[in-house]
Amino acid sequence: MSLKHFAALMMIFMLASCGGGGGTSNSGNQIPGTVTLVSITVTPAGQSIALGTTTQFTALGNYSDNSTQNLTTSATWNSTNTTVATISNTSGSNGLATANALGVTTITATFAGVSKSTTLAVSPSNRAYVTNSGSNNLSVIDTSNNTLVTTVSVGSIPQRVAVNPSANRAYVANSGSNGLSVIDITNNTLVTTISVGTTPQGVAVNPAANRAYVTNSGSSSLSVIDTTSNTVVATVPVGSIPEGVAVNPVANRAYVANSGSSSLSVINTTTNTVVATISVGNSPQGVAVNPAANRAYVANSGSSSMSVIDTTSNAVVATVSVGNTPQGVAVNPAANRAYVANSGSSSLSVIDTTSNTVVATVSVGSIPQGVAVNPAANRTYVTNSGSNSLSVINTTNNTLIATVSVGTGPKDVSLVP
């Protein structure tokens, strides 16, 4: 150190010792703050992947000075069940998880004594789940070859079905036994049955919130279920004879189609309260939501139409004429398409959601009920309760390409791509 630098340091020291040359600050007695790691964010959270595939996890460090740092290559990664999935700590592939078997594991990133965990599910892929109201079971179909894999017994007169791939669970509303069947889709077995309201019809899930929502047409209510404990945590009064239900996780909203009161109930899923009631067509059945476009679509069986709702203003912005007695509705946001199953005309209406016009009508089986879309595969699936089958439609050219035999009186269908 030079004499010049030494003299400068001594001057600073003397000034600090005497309070900075006459000032009142005591900063000379303070120890400079240390930046510490407060928490870690691991993404993606609640991921579901197919057997034999990989997914890259990222660890982001959040520090006390509000800065962030990518810790993916620095953190130590761990999987609690390496039979299901392993995760790499090797340079160049840190945080890369590999799916080895069906099931669920917990992935943890640890750095400087701070840890963060998330779940990783290895789920069946290319699956369609069909409820058969006449045979009290669920058909599991391999959509890669359109063949029946197995049949799972559920409750009495099953209606609609919803799947949560991130937890490897399917949920079936059984109107004849007032219960919700919970199925493990890794081995296609019944895990438990949850008692809900009277004559349950519709079911929807919010994986991020660990919630399932069941409409009870006989008690005009919505059962809210904690899917971690499989218990009912709230019951929300809605309109008369509720049927279909859909969830918008981004906006914390659930939408219930009330057949008896020709309305749509809008529920705040944070408080489990009805925040709006929207008049729609006669006897609404199915409902689907496109969160990105702030739109909900309702199939009105009594007026052969589909109501288009702006979910920001909770107002009907268009009404589209479709086939006779529409039941189910599904939406493909990427293609700007909605699909409506018309039970009275044995057809599927294809709607351009940009112009709200019908652009095609596809003949399917007898008395179609439920409909689901796989955007990645360009496929739509329709349950035909009158012909005990599932119609498979190529959405690129809107043609029927396969018909799969299922159980008796199929009602609804849900997919795992």
Q: 116 pairs with which residues across the strands? A: 109
Count of CB atoms situated within 10 Å of the CB of 88? 17
Q: How confident is the model over 306-330, as a mean pLDDT?
A: 98
Closest CA to 321 of 345, 338, 304: 304
Each residue's pLDDT tens digit, 346-387: 999 999 999 999 999 999 999 999 999 999 999 999 999 999
Structure tokens at 137: 């079971």
Quick check: 15 pLDDT over 60?
no
* Dihedral angle sign, alpha carbons of residues 188, 194, 199, 203: negative
3-state DSSP call for residue 4? helix
Task: Give the per-residue pLDDT at 3.
Answer: 36
d(Cα 120, Cα 105) in Å, to the nearest integer? 5
Confidence check: pLDDT of 2 > 80: no
Full-prediction pTM beyond 0.95? no
State the pLDDT confidence band at 32, using cuts at 50, 70 and 90: low
Specify whether the CB–CB gap between 164 and 172 falls below 8 A: no
Q: What is the pLDDT of residues 146-165, one digit of tens each?
A: 999 999 999 999 999 999 99
The answer, yes or no, to whether residue 10 has pLDDT greater than 90, is: no
More confident residue, 18 or 43: 43
The residues spanned by each domain of the chain are 37-122, 124-416
DSSP string, 362-400: EE-SSSEEEEEEEGGGTEEEEEETTTTEEEEEETTTTEE
> What is the pLDDT at residue 50?
94
pLDDT of residue 202: 98
State how beta strands 200-206 and 189-195 pair. unpaired
Average pLDDT over residues 13-33: 40
In this predicted structure, the answer to whether residue 67 has a pLDDT above a threshold of 90 is: yes
- For 323-343, the pLDDT digits (tens) are 999 999 999 999 999 999 999
Q: Which fold has domain 124-416?
A: Methylamine Dehydrogenase; Chain H (2.130.10)
Provide the mean pLDDT of the chain: 93
* Number of helical H runs and strand E runs in the chain: 2, 38
Q: Are 171 and 162 in contact (CB under 8 A)?
A: yes
CA angle 100, 138, 398 (to 5 degrees): 85
The pLDDT of 5-30, averaged and rounded, is 38
Name the one residue in this structure whose structure tokens are 């006779």.
324
Give domain 37-122's CATH architecture. Answer: Sandwich (2.60)
* Residues 380/373, Cβ–Cβ less than 8 Å: yes
pLDDT number for residue 7: 40
Four-residue CA torsion sign, 278, 281, 286, 287:
negative
Which residues is 315 bridged to in the sheet? 310
- The pLDDT value recorded for residue 352 is 98
pLDDT digits (tens, 9 = 90+) for 247-275: 999 999 999 999 999 999 999 999 999 99
* Mean local confidence (pLDDT), 226-233: 98
